[in-house]
Amino acid sequence: MSTSITRAPRPSGLADVLDVVLDKGIVIDAYIRVSLVGIELLTIDARIVIASVDTYLRFAEAVGRLDLQPSEQVAGLPGLMDNMREGGARKKTKGALTGAKESFKETFGIGGGDDRENEQEEQDEREEQPAERSRGRSAPASRRAPERG
């Protein structure tokens, strides 16, 4: 006997509703359509692109958590790791790469990372921020393209 599962008639969230109906279905001659520029922008803003670096750091933290034995932990380390995780999540909206690096720097600032590495990261951040912003704007639109139906 399997668990009964609820089948929802449609997605509950507005972003997911738009994902279903926007640019999907029969497309009638272009001149008869209204401009949906405002809605296009809304969906792009609703989908925050998470940079792969941030993803990798989250996975690294997750593996690290698994391997930490409570008896070997120095006092405060779990809280430190949690802070790092929360900081990373909080800053996703600010810019995935920036958020990930800042949370990393915060951790090292508390835990004793070397200054040279932090300076290098700040320089990387200055160099990479503009590229990351432009990627954040363009990626969702390109991701939607193959889903046209």
Q: Angle at Cα 67 formed by Cα 54 and Cα 71, nearest 5°?
A: 130
CA angle 21, 27, 30 (to 5 degrees): 120
Binding stretches for another protein (CB under 8 A): 2-11, 14, 17-18, 20-29, 32-34, 36, 38-39, 42-43, 52-53, 55-60, 62-67, 104, 113, 117, 121, 143, 147-149
Q: Would you say 52 or 129 has its CB closer to another protein?
A: 52
Which helix (H) or strand (E) segment holds residue 18: the answer is: helix 14-21
Query: Which CB sits closer to another protein, 121 or 132?
Result: 121
Half-sphere exposure of 49 (CA within 13 A, CB side): 19
Continuous H helices in 36-114: 37-46, 52-67, 77-90, 96-111
Q: How far is the CB of 81 from another protein (least distance, A)?
A: 11
Cβ distance to another protein smaller for residue 112 or 130: 112
Which residue, 95 or 97, is less far from another protein as judged by CB?
Answer: 97
Shortest reach from residue 4's CB to another protein, in Å? 6
